[in-house]
Amino acid sequence: MKLENKPTIITIKNFTTESGAFFVTVNLSYQLFGLGLHTVPIILVNHALTGNSQVVGTKGWWNVLIGENRTIDTNKYTILAFNVPGNGFDDTIIENYLDFTARDVARLFIEGLKELQINQLFAIIGGSVGGGIAWEIAALEPKITKHLIPIATDWKSTDWLIANCFLQEQILNNSAKPIEDARIHAMLCYRTPESFKAKFDRTVNEELAIFNIESWLNHHGEKLQKRFQLSAYKLMNQLLKTIDISRNRESFLAVASKIEADIHIIGINSDLFFTVNENKETYETLKKYKENVTFQEIDSIHGHDAFLIEYKQLDNLLKGIFKLEKNISK
């Protein structure tokens, strides 16, 4: 039976965050797509900053990658996607965003897997902060998945990333139009000068008497303001800033070398957010201690957002994982 469900709520009880904040209950919602749960291999898809559990369907944000006869084929797999509690998609609101880290969300997702009686995943895949949460899940549960696929992300937030998250936080807390203005700044991190030149080339919107790049940025700010909550933006930005599987642990290597999954690191050569050099450094460090780790690169002028744009390249990089017939047995 094919699944495309509305969000279902799991109630996680007595949850304490890394910072010591205690919650009697946390609502964790999820959606399932593809074939029935526990009938075929399960893939966990983690959404990015403004995303949600609606990965496929009419409003699906990753339809180019996931669906019938797509790279991740819903005729062959079960697709599970959790909502980060507080992302606003399921009406859950977390006002004190500083209570949470990316690792806290990974812990909640693991609790969700337990509630669904999922002991083994075929793959965990996610881009940007979703990929960072994937790293955190694998660090907490080294045997949980056969494949770990972090895309346009890393196991830690760099100083550069933290600095941009700090600026985002300042805008979100102080601007008269916080969501719009923060989004405008963020788009400069998600794309590149080359991408803007190719798209706009200094052209002018005659009707508005402004540059087309300005009109485009305003459009993206207004568009997000209509569908995203301020509390959700603050929370997701906080999670992006706090990715670090080595925090309060011995070292990155001590943690990552215990992950049993095949790790498929995918970077973007023009990414200004999670730079490809950081991805290469992670790969070079890890491959000395772990054989089943690979690094592949998306070649694009479009920067961080290329993982949502260059779907043909992403298909080529991933099809070997998901399209081998031997994968289809449970």
Tell me the pLDDT band of 226, cut-offs 50, 70 and 90. Answer: very high
Q: Are 145 and 184 in a shared domain?
A: no
The confidence score (pLDDT) of residue 324 equals 57
Cα–Cα–Cα angle for 108, 109, 115, rounded to 5 degrees = 90
Which of 203, 222, 238 is a domain's end point? 238
Residues 209 and 264 in one domain: no
Q: Sorting pLDDT into bands at 50, 70 and 90, what band is 4? A: low
pLDDT value at 266 more than 90: yes
Domain boundary residue, one of 220, 238, 256? 238
Q: Same structural domain for residues 199 and 310? A: no
Write the DSSP assignment of 43-81 as a string of letters.
EEEE--TT--S--SSTT-TTTTTEETTSSEETTT-EEEE
Considering 199, 220, 238, which residue would you say is the last residue of a domain?
238
Same domain flag for 153 and 262: yes
Quote the percentage of the chain above a pLDDT of 90: 94
- The predicted model gives 202-214 an average pLDDT of 96
Q: pLDDT by residue (tens digit) across 287-305?
A: 999 999 999 999 999 999 9
Query: Is the domain of 147 the same as that of 274?
Result: yes
Q: What is the mean pLDDT of the chain?
A: 95
Contact by Cβ (8 Å): 192, 275: no
Distance CA 138, CA 130 (A): 13
* Per-residue confidence band for 92, with pLDDT thresholds at 50, 70 and 90: confident
Contacts of 245 (CB under 8 A, 6+ apart): 103, 135, 136, 139, 155, 156, 252, 255, 256
Give the residues across from 26 on adjacent strands: 12
pLDDT score, position 329: 46
Instruction: Please tell me whether residues 189 and 289 are part of one structural domain.
Output: no
How high is the pLDDT of residue 95?
87
Mean of pLDDT values over 227-248? 97
Q: How many domains does the chain have?
A: 2
Mean pLDDT of 317-325: 85
pLDDT surpassing 80 at residue 5? no
E strand or H helix that includes residue 193: helix 193-199
Residue 166, domain extent:
160-238
Let me know whether 99 and 206 are in one domain. no
Q: 127-158 pLDDT, tens per residue? A: 999 999 999 999 999 999 999 999 999 999 99
* Same-domain check for residues 21 and 129: yes
- Pair 67, 211 in one domain: no
Give the pLDDT band (50/70/90) at residue 52: very high
pTM: 0.95
pLDDT of res. 2: 58
In CATH, what number is assigned to the domain containing residue 44? 3.40.50.1820
| pLDDT at residue number 262 | 98
